[in-house]
Structure 1
Amino acid sequence: MNEEQYVLEAQSGHLQQPRCDAVYPVGLYGWRKRFLYFFLSLLLVIMIVNLALTVWIVKVMNFTVASPLVVWSDRNVTVNARNDQGQLTGQLTVGPDSVEAQCQRFEVWSRDGGKVLFSVDEKKISVGTDTVRVTGSDGGVFGHSVETPHIQADASQDLKLESPTRTLTMEAPRGVEVTAARGKLKATCRKDLELQSTEGEIFLDANTIRLGSFLPLGVYSPSSDAASQKQTVYELCICPNGKLYLSPAGSSSSCYSTSNVCLWN
Structure 2
Amino acid sequence: MTWEQYVPSPDLPAIFPLGIYGWQKRCLYFLVLLLAVVMIMNMALTIWILKVMNFTLDGMGSLKVSEQGVQLEGVSEFLLPLYVKEIQSRKDSTLLLHSDGNITLNTRNHLGLLTGQLTVGPNKVEVQMQRFVVWNHDRRRLLFSAQDDELRIATRKLRVTGVEGAGFQHSVETPRIRAEPFQDLRLESPTRMLTIVGPRGVEINADAGDLRASCRGDLHLESMEGEILLNAAMIRLGGLPIGTSAATRGAAVPKQAVYELCACPNGRFYLSPAELQSTCQVTGNMCLWS
TM-score, length-scaled by structure 1? 0.77
Contact 2:244 2:283 in 1 (8 A): no
State the SS of the aligned residue for 1:262. Answer: helix
1:225 equivalent in alignment to 2:257? no
**Letter paired with 2:252:** D
For 1:179, which of 181, 199, 205 is the aligned residue? Answer: 205
Structure 1 pair 111–256 and aligned structure 2 pair: CA distance change class (3 A): farther
For 1:252, which of 277, 280, 283 is the aligned residue? Answer: 277
Contact 2:262 2:269 in 1 (8 A): yes
Structure 1 pair 245–61 and aligned structure 2 pair: CA distance change class (3 A): farther
Partner of 2:287: 262
For 2:138, which of 97, 112, 120 is the aligned residue? Answer: 112
Q: CA deviation at 1:199?
A: 1.4
Q: CA deviation at 1:190?
A: 1.3
Structure 1 pair 64–169 and aligned structure 2 pair: CA distance change class (3 A): closer
Deviation larger for 80-89 or 236-245: 80-89
1:124 equivalent in alignment to 2:131? no
Deviation larger for 42-51 or 117-126: 42-51
Contact 2:243 2:283 in 1 (8 A): no
Q: CA deviation at 1:84?
A: 2.1
Partner of 1:242: 267
**Letter paired with 1:196:** E
State the SS of the aligned residue for 1:185. Answer: coil
Q: CA deviation at 1:36?
A: 7.4
Structure 1 pair 224–176 and aligned structure 2 pair: CA distance change class (3 A): farther
Partner of 1:3: none
Contact 1:61 1:70 in 2 (8 A): no
- Over the matched positions of the two proteins, sequence identity in percent amounts to 48
Deviation larger for 129-138 or 64-73: 64-73
**Letter paired with 1:217:** I
TM-score, length-scaled by structure 2? 0.71
Contact 1:106 1:120 in 2 (8 A): yes
State the SS of the aligned residue for 1:225. Answer: coil
For 2:216, which of 190, 211, 216 is the aligned residue? Answer: 190
Contact 1:240 1:257 in 2 (8 A): no
Q: CA deviation at 1:222?
A: 3.7
**Number of aligned residue pairs:** 233
Query: Higher helix proportion, which one?
Result: 1
Q: CA deviation at 1:67?
A: 2.0
Distance 1:257 1:179 in 2: 41
Instruction: Structure 2: state its 5+ residue gaps.
Output: 1-31, 64-71, 78-87
